[in-house]
Homo-oligomer: A and B are copies of this chain.
C-alpha cells in the first residue's frame, strides 16, 4: 500500500526560510506560543501550486503534524479549493508562524521583521507567477496580503484575490449557541460564495475542472473534505488525518495548559 507524503523543505528558498526564522524577539512569548516552534506551511512547494491560501496561525494539531490547517478549518478550505477545481496544486501559509496566545498587539503585527519574513514566503510562492488565485482567511490574513501588496514585489504580482471569513469564525463567534452558529455559518457560506464567483474565472489550470457549485445556507455532504495524505510528513498514522480532536491542551491552570499537548488516538483505532 502506498502512502504518499510531503517531503517538506528540500530546495531553496525554503531551506533557508526554514532554518533562519523569527524567534521570540519578533514573536513575543506573551502573544505567541513560541515554545512549540514555528510551523511553516502545507501543500506544494515545488512550483506546482496554482492557488495560495493565507491562514492565520497554527493550533495544537498543526503543532504535532508540523503542517498548517490540518484540522477542521483545513477540511473546510479543502472543500472550498475543490469547488475551484484544486485537489493538489495548492500551498498554504499563515499570517503568523506561531500559535497566537491571547491577542496580537498592533506593534507586533506591524513589526517589519515579522512582515518581511512572511513576505519572503509570499515572494517564494508568488514570484514564479504561476499562482492564479490567492485566498485570505480572516482579517489577519487580509492584513498580511495588504502588507505584501505594499511592496514592489507584491505590486508586481497580480493573482485574483479574495479575502473571506475565517472558516471557524462561526464557531468562535457563537460561543456554543446553536442558533447563532447556524446564522453565522449561513453568513460565512454566502461570503464564500461571493468569493468563489469573484475568482472562479481566474482559475486557468485547475487539477479537476469543475462547474462552479455554490454552497447552500448550511454545510452539506461533501463541503468538508479530507486533507490528502500527500500533505503530511512521512509515516504519520491515518487517524491524524481524521477529524480533529485528537490533540488538546490540558492542565489545571493556564501555565500547565500552555505547557501541555495531550494526544489521544481516535477511538476504535486500538482494539
Contact = CB atoms under 8 A, between A and B. Distances in A.
Contacts of A260: 262-265
A259 B264 contact: yes
Contacts of A23: 1
Residue with the greatest number of chain B CB neighbours at <10 A, chosen from A19, A236, A239, A258: A19
A217 B20 CA distance: 42
A167 interface: no
What is the oligomeric copy number?
2
Contacts of A8: 7-8, 10, 233-234
Chain A at the B interface: mostly helix, strand, loop or mixed? loop
A237 interface: yes
A18 interface: yes
Given A10-B10, A262-B260, A265-B259, A237 B35 contact: yes
B235 A35 contact: no
Interface stretch (A36-44, A70-78, A83-91, A150-158): A36-44
A234 B19 contact: yes
A39 B235 contact: yes
10 contacts: A2-B19, A3-B19, A5-B18, A8-B10, A37-B235, A233-B233, A259-B264, A259-B269, A260-B263, A261-B262
Interface of A: 1-5, 7-10, 15, 18-21, 23, 29, 34-40, 64, 66, 233-237, 239-240, 255, 258-265, 269-271
Given A1-B20, A8-B10, 7 more contacts: A5-B9, A7-B10, A21-B235, A34-B237, A39-B235, A259-B264, A261-B262
